[in-house]
Amino acid sequence: MVDQIENGWYRVSTLRLRGSGTLFFVFKATYFDLEELKISTQEKLKEMTGNHTKELQDLRVQVLGKKGSLTELLKGLKDLSNDLRPVVGKQVNEVRDILTKAFEEQAKVVEAVKIQAQLESESVDVTLPGRQMTLGHRHVLTQTSEEIEDIFLGMGFQVVDGFEVEKDYYNFERMNLPKDHPARDMQDTFYITEEILLRTHTSPVQARTMDQHDFSKGPLKMISPGRVFRRDTDDATHSHQFHQIEGLVVGENISMGDLKGTLQLISQKMFGAERKIRLRPSYFPFTEPSVEVDVSCFKCGGKGCNVCKQTGWIEILGAGMVHPSVLEMSGIDSEKYSGFAFGLGQERIAMLRYGINDIRGFYQGDVRFTDQF
Q: How far apart are CA 303 and CA 267, in angstroms?
A: 18
In this prediction, residues 300-318 reach a mean pLDDT of 81
Higher pLDDT, 134 or 74: 134
Q: How far apart are CA 7 and CA 79, in angstroms?
A: 7
pLDDT-derived band at 353 (thresholds 50, 70, 90) equals confident
Give me the pLDDT at residue 184, please: 67
Pairing status of strand 337-345 against strand 9-12: unpaired
Residue 273 burial (10 A CB sphere; 0-12, 13-18, 19+): exposed
Q: How far apart are CA 349 and CA 162, in angstroms?
A: 22
pLDDT-derived band at 205 (thresholds 50, 70, 90) equals very high
Write b or e for each residue in 339-369: b if 16 or more Cβ atoms lie within 10 A of its Cβ, otherwise e.
Answer: bbbbbbbbbbbbbbeeebeebebbeeeeeee
In this prediction, residues 197-206 reach a mean pLDDT of 91
Q: Is the pLDDT of residue 186 over 60?
A: no
Q: Is the pLDDT of residue 245 over 90?
A: yes
Element (H, E) at 341: strand 337-345
Residues contacting residue 291 through CB under 8 Å, at least 6 positions apart: 279, 280, 281, 282, 318, 319, 320
In this prediction, residues 58-76 reach a mean pLDDT of 72
Element (H, E) at 29: none
Give me the pLDDT at residue 262, please: 92
Q: How many CB atoms lie within 10 A of CB 288?
A: 15
Query: What domains does the chain contain, in order, with CATH numbers?
Result: 2-121 (no CATH), 140-370 (3.30.930.10)
250, 234 Cβ separation under 8 angstroms: no
pLDDT-derived band at 59 (thresholds 50, 70, 90) equals confident
Residues contacting residue 21 through CB under 8 Å, at least 6 positions apart: none
